[in-house]
Chain A
Amino acid sequence: MSTKTPSAPAEAQELAKKVPRLSGSKKLFRKVEPYIWIAPSIILMAIFIVTPIVKVFQLSMSKVTRAGLVKGYNNFENFTNVLKSPAFSLVLKNTIVWTIAVVVISTVLGFMLALVLNNKFRGRKVARAIVVFPWATTLVIQASAWNFIINKDYGTLNTLLMKIGLISAPVNWTPTPGAYFAWEIACGIFVTIPFVTFCVLSGLQSIDASYYEAATVDGAGYFQKLFSITLPLVKSSLTVATVLNIIYVFNSFPIIWTMTKGDPANHTDTLVTYLYKLAFYNGKQGEASAVSVIGFLILLVCASVYMIYTLRKGDDDL
């Protein structure tokens, strides 16, 4: 398999080149052609994503021992155990807060930042390079750094503020689980902004300057242009970015794991960290798989709503 997949697109292209010349089968080819074009992608995802997903569904309905051996089906017992657990509703609430806060705030800030960076100014290249930093940094490291910065006893934030003279004694930045969670959200926003910014920037760059010139001639103001030209034209890249962001943030693991491991007592857990603990600390892989199936269903509902809304429109355009 390993050697086939990478060469598949080449094959597809070869086929695409040759077949049109066989005029007899041209019609059939027209029908089959699109599938040849998408085949490599489908094969890649089928092997490396769909198969593991099937496995997770199987596990979620099986009895799995602590050491990880599968011992037959157990009648959705994993699901009932998960739903019965008092921690679950807390974790679910955290997940929703986490996802909405990170996605909404980073989308707004990222969009604004993209507008700023789309201007021509001295040092723009440097500024753009700097903005990409948080994105270019592994989340584990980014989270470690923030954890270090906000530490009460030796963190650099306290040191800095004390040197400036804003505070006189070290402040405990994380007195409650809620405060810790807020810092984690801030860290999540910090690393997500560059992604949004660059999605929007790529959209902005493909807007033809003549639109703006025409609008200016018509006497449109900045905000008028923003809402009637810029927003509609970057909408497609922004919506894609947002949907993917929802999925990525919902499934984000390293930040919370590095900063609090979901402690104390699940107060900063999201579904992903919760199920990781279930699987690898508590040895309950069956229940962990059940949690991931539940998370999947939640995402599926959200994304379906989005897709029904947007794709219908997209098909009309074709």
Chain B
Amino acid sequence: MKKFLATLLALVMVLSLAACGGDKGGDTTPPADSGNTGTTAPPADSGSGEKTAIKVIAAEYGQNTKQWWADFVTDFNSSHDNIDLTVEAVSWNDIYTVVNTRVANNDAPDILNIDVFADYVADDLLLPIQDCVSDETYAKFYDAFLEQSNIDGTIWAIPDLASARAMYYNKGILEAAGVEVPTTWDELKAACEKIKAYDSSIYPWGIDMTTDEGQAAFAYYIWNNGSDFTDASGNWTLDADANVEAIEYAIGLVKDGYTNSDPANETRYALQDLFGAGKLAMMIGPNSIPTYIADNYAKANTPAEEQIDYAFAAIPTNGSNPSVSAGVMDRFMVFDNGHSDEKIEAIKEFFDFFYEDERYSDWVLMEGFLPATSAGGEIVAAADPSMAPWVEIVGSCKFYPTAKAEWADVKQGVINVEQQALLGGNVKELLEDLQAQIAG
């Protein structure tokens, strides 16, 4: 008994020693290794001999993002002696939690890379982006992209990349089922029916109505029914008849058994995996799908005969409406943390460095996205011919109304409407309720 206790006590002591030793490594105070912990040090910008610290929080787009930023920071800091840049790449699952917690505690990053920005503008947290970007860099962006970040005549953010959506289809399945590539909703429904008759274990059509990205499904169907979230003057028109019709059509596909079994829980990523495994015939997805599928096959050493043969086409529309591709754009924004002039200069240098054409196209290609600058577009199109049609598409696609302050509520609202409808709710009533709640 005594022996056991002695062992236990010894263990506790060893552990406590280990903990003390380890804590020092994690502590912010010892100067010896504070290089690691620069992120938590109080902003010491204006000091004369001090380095200017810039804190960046960036979204983690995929498996390569973290490494890309790590290399970027090394390159940047070694060529800018007076600046101490730290970049924290946070996964999309967690980024809102992390950013909101920091903002609520007056610990906002200097630069943030995320999708939303209107909320921060509403709270006067941001600096107009033109004050923080050099003129040469600012001139590089497509005007249409900058307009997406316009609130009351001020541009608050610059795009870091974009992606566009199209319909992907499995050529093998469509051929075997004797189906032409559908271009209208009627053709799509007929195609689903034939595919299902051909092999009931294959899902003809993929739909994602999850909390993750259900708003995308909403956009695909209403935009391709000639409708929109708002009217021309920017008033919300969520319960427009064309919207009701569009969502009823989408829900109808689910109810008829033409889609994946659980649209409320199966995210786009789950659909992409089903598509890559040949279990899903058609889905709407981003331009990054080919990179994604090729990566998987390469990692798995999948023999060529087991790989799926697929292509992409315009998203089917209702009748003669023009097909609309959905664009998604993410942004950089600068928080107003009372920056000194040196700091603003440092931030400008950060953006100049990031948007250098070579580095920028490398950033975009890293995870298979689309560029938001014209020079970047040319380089990307030249580097990868398969991207060329996408660079065309992204110039003309529609974007979510993210500049409107109610967008966050609308986004959650339409997802809720979709999920309620999946459970048997009346689409018209649900959308009317939402409209009343948003506009009222």
Nearest-Cβ distance from residue B111 to partner chain A, whole angstroms: 16
Q: Which residues of A contact B209 (CB under 8 A)?
A: 264
In the bound complex, residues from chain B placing their C-beta under 8 Å from that of A180 are 265
Chain A residues with CB under 8 Å of B261's CB are 152-153, 172, 175
Known: A67-B119, A153-B279, A177-B423. 6 other contacts (CB 8 A): A64-B104, A66-B119, A154-B277, A175-B261, A264-B209, A281-B96
With both chains docked as a complex, state the minimum distance between the C-beta of A242 and any C-beta of chain B, in angstroms.
28
Bound CA span A264–B119, Å: 26
Provide the bound-state CA to CA distance between A153 and B265, in Å.
Answer: 13
Q: Does A68 contact B (CB under 8 A)?
A: yes
State whether the Cβ of B44 lies closer than 8 Å to any Cβ in chain A.
no
Q: How far apart are the CA atoms of A277 and B416 in the complex, in Å?
A: 12
Q: How far is the CB of B151 from chain A (nearest CB, A)?
A: 14
Interchain nearest-CB distance for A2 vs B (Å): 8
Q: Which stretch of B120-128, B292-300, B306-314, B346-354 is in the interface?
A: B120-128
Flag if B211 contacts A261 (CB, 8 Å).
yes
Give the nearest-CB partner of B433 in chain A.
Answer: A86
Sorting the interface of chain B by its residue count into under 10, 10 to 19, 20 to 34 or 35 or more gives 35 or more
In the assembled complex, the CB of B18 is this many whole angstroms from the nearest CB of chain A, namely: 14
With known contacts A263-B419, A277-B211, A67–B125 Cβ distance under 8 A = yes
Q: How far is the CB of A69 from chain B (nearest CB, A)?
A: 5
User: In whole angstroms, what is the CA distance A169 to B200 when docked?
Assistant: 11
Q: Least Cβ distance of B292 to chain A in Å?
A: 17
A289 to chain B, nearest CB (A): 11
Smallest Cβ-Cβ distance to A65: which chain B residue: B123
Task: List which B208-250 residues lie within 8 A (CB) of chain A.
Answer: 209-212
Q: Are A174 and B262 in contact (CB under 8 A)?
A: yes
Which of B125, B210, B409 is close to A261, meaning CB atoms less than 8 Å apart? B210
- Beta-carbon contact of B96 and A280 below 8 Å: yes
Q: Are A264 and B419 in contact (CB under 8 A)?
A: yes
- A203 interface contact, C-beta 8 A: no
Which A residue sits closest to B94, measured CB to CB?
A: A280
Residues of B within 8 A of A154 (CB): 273, 277
Q: Is the CB of B100 within 8 A of A280?
A: yes
Number of interface residues of A (CB under 8 A): 32
Does the CB pair B103–A69 fall under 8 Å? yes
Least CB distance from A113 to B in Å reads 26
27 chain-A/chain-B pairs, Cβ below 8 angstroms: A65-B122, A65-B123, A66-B408, A67-B122, A67-B125, A68-B100, A68-B105, A69-B123, A152-B261, A153-B260, A154-B277, A174-B265, A177-B423, A261-B211, A261-B212, A263-B210, A263-B265, A264-B264, A264-B419, A264-B420, A264-B422, A265-B420, A265-B425, A277-B211, A280-B97, A281-B96, A283-B100
A260 within 8 A of B: yes
Contact B119 A282 (CB under 8 A): no
Contact A283 B265 (CB under 8 A): no
Contact A263–B211 (Cβ < 8 Å): yes
Question: Contact at A65–B96, with CB atoms within 8 Å?
Answer: no
Q: Would you call A285 an interface residue if the criterion is a C-beta within 8 Å of the partner chain's C-beta atoms?
A: yes
**CA distance in complex: A280, B408 (Å):** 11
Asked whether, in the complex, the Cβ of B265 is within 8 Å of the Cβ of A264, the reply is yes
Q: Does A247 contact B (CB under 8 A)?
A: no
Does B119 lie within 8 Å of A283, measured CB to CB?
yes
CA distance A265 to B209 in the complex (A): 11
Q: Is the CB of B211 within 8 A of A282?
A: no
Encoded as 1 (CB less than 8 Å from any A CB) or 0, chain B from 21 to 65 comes to 000000000000000000000000000000000000000000000
Closest CB-CB distance, A313 to chain B, in whole Å?
32
- The answer for the CA separation of A280 and B126 in the assembled complex, in Å, is 20
B177 within 8 A of A: no
* A residues less than 8 Å from B211 (CB atoms): 261-263, 277, 281
Complex: A255 Cα to B307 Cα, angstroms:
35
Q: How far is the CB of A284 from the nearest CB of chain B, in Å?
A: 9
Complex alpha-carbon distance, A72 and B409, angstroms? 22
Contact B265 A260 (CB under 8 A): yes
Is there contact, CB below 8 Å, between B409 and A282? yes
Mark B residues whose CB is within 8 Å of A: 96-97, 100-101, 103-105, 119-120, 122-123, 125, 201, 209-212, 260-262, 264-265, 273-274, 277, 279, 408-409, 412, 416, 419-420, 422-423, 425
Contact B423 A265 (CB under 8 A): yes
The answer to whether B104 and A68 have CB atoms under 8 Å apart is yes
Shortest CB-to-CB span from B93 to chain A, Å, is 10
A residues 146-193 touching B (CB-CB < 8 Å): 152-154, 169-170, 172, 174-175, 177, 180
Contact with B along A262-279 (1 / 0, CB 8 A): 111111000000000101
Given the interface contacts A68-B104, A180-B265, does A282 sit within 8 Å of B412 by beta carbon? yes
Q: Are B264 and A67 in contact (CB under 8 A)?
A: no
The reply to whether A285 and B100 contact each other, CB–CB distance below 8 Å, is yes
Q: How far is the CA of A265 from the CA of B416 in the complex (A)?
A: 5
Contacts of B419 in A (CB 8 A): 263-265
Determine the residue in chain B with the shortest Cβ distance to A64: B104
Per the bound structure, the CA–CA distance linking A152 and B260 in Å amounts to: 10
Complexed CA–CA distance, A247 and B68 (Å): 43
Bound-state CA distance A262–B265 (Å) is 10
A1 to B122, CA, bound (A): 37
Kindly state the separation between the CA atoms of A65 and B119 in the bound complex, as whole angstroms: 8
Q: Bound complex: CA of A170 vs CA of B104, how far in Å?
A: 47
Contacts of B123 in A (CB 8 A): 65-67, 69
Name which of A153, A174, A180, A280 has the most chain B CB atoms within 10 A of its CB: A153
Q: How far is the CB of A16 from chain B (nearest CB, A)?
A: 19
User: In the complex, what's the smallest C-beta–C-beta distance from A140 to chain B, in angstroms?
Assistant: 11
In the bound complex, residues from chain A placing their C-beta under 8 Å from that of B423 are 177, 264-265, 267
| Minimum distance in angstroms from A139 CB to a CB of chain B | 15
- B164 to A: closest C-beta gap in Å: 25
List of B residues within 8 angstroms of A280 by Cβ? 96-97, 100
Shortest CB–CB separation between residue B175 and chain A, in angstroms? 23
Whole-angstrom CA separation of A167 from B319 in the bound complex: 43
Q: CA separation between A66 and B262, bound complex, in Å? A: 31
Interface 0/1 of A68-80, CB less than 8 Å to B = 1110000000000
Q: Across the interface, do B265 and A68 meet the contact criterion of CB distance under 8 Å?
A: no
Return chain B residues, CB-CB under 8 Å to A285.
Answer: 100, 104
A95 to B423, CA, bound (A): 20
Q: Which residues of A contact B122 (CB under 8 A)?
A: 65-67
Nearest CB of B to A300, in Å: 26
List the 3 shortest-distance A-B pairs measured between CB atoms, nearest first: A68-B104, A264-B264, A264-B419
Task: Tell me the bound Cα distance from A18 to B216 in angstroms.
Answer: 70
- Considering the chains assembled together, what is the distance between the CA atoms of A261 and B260 in angstroms? 18
Which of B103, B209, B265 is the most central at the interface, judged by chain A CB atoms within 10 Å of its CB?
B265
A172 to B423 alpha-carbon distance, docked (Å)? 16
Q: How far is the CA of A68 from the CA of B209 in the complex (A)?
A: 27
Chain B residues contacting A260 (CB-CB under 8 Å) are 265
